[in-house]
DNA sequence: TCGTTTTTGATCGTTTTTGAGAGAAATGCA
DNA sequence: TGCATTTCTCTCAAAAACGATCAAAAACGA
């Protein structure tokens, strides 16, 4: 965490909280209190204001990004477990990328974590609809092809009819996808149909589709259906995924990696 | 902080505050009091005046920049160089935008300045190939259509063959273009042919093409030819542009605005 | 030099922000 | 389910910052 020089003005503090939520996906009131050296009451008030402005979503114990808002059991441990798992998943996924690959990355905090690992991979071609992934790699790293389209503010990704045109003109060897929920019965789901449409389009034409999702998303079902398990080749998740779940997926022919 | 020699004249002190806000992004009343050796009352009066002139935004405890980017100082330096002229040009250009317009913005620091003025313009549709402009308006403002394509790192814009697909599917009322150089004989030129290609494509199909360029770019010729003056409807520049230049352009039917 | 205008600093009542505490609600665990 | 613990909301008071006002100081012009 960035340690600001104290004291900090209120707007500055809120901006700090906001960027922290954006980067980590989730923040805890107690952590913020320690790092910002103010009382929990102030933290709560800040979170309230930021929530009113649509910058984040408060949850019991802290706050999450708007796109992560349907996740529930987020504070599984005293530490920020979810984010640790996410970065381990990203590292595991990174190993799957070969030299010279063309890679697709979609939106979400886990895939953003993967993007951060690619800053030195000038050998790759990265196709993405994530504004944040592109910004993260704006100064160095793979050659970047950003899918055009309408910016969906809540997820900071490009969606809509204009995206399909570009997607039809490129080929990706490996597509790394995030999801809001995955479930044996319903397959992959996410909050927004437009988002789902783009994911589906990519999945349909990628050489290999790799799903990145921490175990907290298992058996969660969201609004918009993305695809069935048939479309997925590899799942990278963490060791907390229930054994039966893993078995069932492997029986279906998926490669399941536990980071 | 720069320690000035005392006493300091009022306008000088205000200019100091202004540059401090620009550099730091945020200042505190108490810090200013200590460093400038004047009472808080004076500081407050200064801040009040600076706010009236639109130089900064007061907050409880101090003040912040108008373009409240608390992070990122790299690119800002570039914008601050000829910033007075550029921001005046941007303000002048902003007046040309009508309610509900669909607007194209291309890359460059002047057009980025214009982007910053659009944070509350939810009535607009903004089409752009500038990653920075999109990032600047990522959280609020116009509906954003980002042109897909390959990211050209040096300019942080999308270029290449993939751009044309998207551009063909949208119409913009007003296109605001930057340039590396403009010259009566050679017209508009820029450093990169790919960049030039996109600019040309946009200019060809926009309802009105508005060129934003400070006078320092006059009679400069760069490598890649963008277009002739025929393609341009309006030039927004500063008062330092030589009179003959202005006359000559007006004779050709261009509207020339001196900010 | 004197009178006028501008700038500055101090004071005071008001508003905003912050922190602490009590009771209510949510969570975890047996 | 019941109980312990954490977290939340609400209220209130202290602290910090604010605006307004007025008098002193400085700058200015005649």
Q: How far is B28 from chain A (nearest CA, A)?
A: 8
Counting residues of chain A whose pLDDT is more than 70, the rounded percentage is: 92
pLDDT, tens digit, 9 for 90 and up, residues A71-127:
543 444 433 556 677 889 999 999 999 999 999 999 988 899 999 999 999 999 999
Please give the nucleotide, over all strands, whose C1' is closest to the CA of residue A10: C17
Q: What is the pLDDT at residue A6?
A: 65
Chain A contacts of B145, Cβ < 8 Å? 148-151, 162
Query: What are the counts of helices (DSSP H) followed by strands (DSSP E) for chain B?
Result: 10, 15
Residue B133 sits at the chain A interface (C-beta within 8 Å): no
**Chain A residue with Cα closest to B69:** A15
Closest CA to A175 of A201, A147, A210: A210
Evaluate whether B33 touches B43 at the Cβ level (below 8 Å).
yes
Q: Which two structure tokens, joined as six digits, stand for A256?
A: 């399941």
Q: What is the pLDDT at residue A221?
A: 82
Output the CA–CA distances (angstroms, integers) from residue B19 to A228, B27, B36, B42, B130, in the order listed. Answer: 57, 10, 14, 17, 27
Q: How far is A33 from chain B (nearest CA, A)?
A: 20
CB contact under 8 A, A10 and B146: no
CB contact under 8 A, B166 and A148: yes
The mean pLDDT of chain A is 89
Q: How far is the CA of B215 from the C1' of D3 (A)?
A: 76
Which element (helix H / strand E) includes B131? helix B131-136
Residue A52 sits at the chain B interface (C-beta within 8 Å): no
Biggest distance spanned by C-alpha atoms of chain B: 62
Q: Which of residues 15-44 of A touch B (CB under 8 A)?
A: 15-16, 19
Counting residues of chain A whose pLDDT is more than 90, the rounded percentage is: 68
pLDDT, tens digit, 9 for 90 and up, residues A137-151:
999 999 999 999 999
Mean pLDDT, consecutive 10-residue stretches, chain B (259 aa), reads 56 90 89 93 95 91 75 38 75 95 94 91 96 92 94 94 85 96 93 94 95 92 93 95 94 94
CB contact under 8 A, A12 and B70: yes
Residue B73 sits at the chain A interface (C-beta within 8 Å): no
Please give the nucleotide, over all strands, whose C1' is closest to the CA of residue A78: D6
Q: What is the pLDDT at residue B9?
A: 73
The rounded distance, in Å, linking the Cα atoms of B158 and A145 is 8
Residue B70 sits at the chain A interface (C-beta within 8 Å): yes
Q: What is the pLDDT at residue B120?
A: 85
Burial of B45 (0-12, 13-18, 19+ CB in 10 A): middle
Question: Domains in chain A, start-ordered, CATH in brackets?
Answer: 10-64 (1.10.10), 81-258 (3.40.50.1360)
* Those residues with Cβ within 8 angstroms of residue A160's Cβ, 6 or more apart along the chain or in another chain: A149, A150, A152, A194
Chain A contacts of B134, Cβ < 8 Å? 131, 151
Q: What is the pLDDT at residue A147?
A: 94
Q: How far is A155 from chain B (nearest CA, A)?
A: 10
pLDDT, tens digit, 9 for 90 and up, residues A247-257:
999 999 999 99
- Protein residues in reach of strand D (CB < 7 A): A 28-30, 40-41, 44, 48, 58, 60-62; B 7, 28-30, 40-41, 44, 48, 58-62
CB contact under 8 A, B134 and A145: no
CB contact under 8 A, A9 and B59: yes
Q: Is the CB of A38 under 7 A from strand C?
A: yes
Residue A144 sits at the chain B interface (C-beta within 8 Å): yes
Q: How far is B79 from chain A (nearest CA, A)?
A: 18
Identify from B148, B149, B155, B161 which residue to disrupt to test chain A contact, counting A C-beta atoms within 10 A and taking the largest count. Answer: B148
* Those residues with Cβ within 8 angstroms of residue B1's Cβ, 6 or more apart along the chain or in another chain: B20, B31, B35
Chain B contacts of A165, Cβ < 8 Å? 165-166, 169
């Amino acid at each position: 965490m960035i340690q600001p020089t104290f004291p900090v003005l209120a707007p500055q503090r809120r901006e700090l909280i906001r960027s922290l939520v954006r980067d980590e996906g989730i923040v805890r009131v107690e952590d913020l209190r320690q790092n910002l050296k103010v009382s929990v009451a102030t933290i709560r008030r800040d979170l309230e204001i930021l929530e009113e402005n649509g910058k984040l979503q408060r949850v019991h114990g802290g706050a999450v990004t708007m796109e992560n808002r349907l996740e529930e059991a987020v504070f599984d441990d005293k530490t920020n477990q979810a984010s640790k798992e996410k970065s381990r998943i990203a590292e595991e996924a990174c190993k799957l990328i070969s030299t010279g690959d063309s890679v697709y990355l979609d939106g979400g905090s886990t895939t953003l974590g993967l993007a951060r690992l690619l800053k030195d991979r000038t050998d790759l071609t990265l196709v993405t609809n994530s504004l944040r992934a592109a910004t993260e790699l704006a100064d160095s790293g793979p050659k970047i092809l950003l899918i055009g389209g309408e910016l969906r503010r809540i997820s900071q990704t490009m969606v809509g009819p204009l995206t399909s045109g570009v997607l039809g003109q490129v080929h990706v060897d490996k597509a790394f996808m995030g999801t809001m929920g995955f479930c044996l019965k319903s397959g992959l789901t996410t909050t927004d149909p437009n988002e789902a449409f783009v994911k589906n389009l990519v999945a349909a034409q990628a050489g290999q589709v790799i799903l990145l999702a921490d175990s907290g998303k298992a058996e969660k079902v969201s609004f918009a259906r993305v695809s069935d398990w048939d479309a997925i080749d590899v799942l990278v998740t963490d060791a907390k995924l229930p054994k039966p779940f893993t078995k069932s997926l492997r029986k279906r022919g998926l490669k399941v990696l536990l980071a």
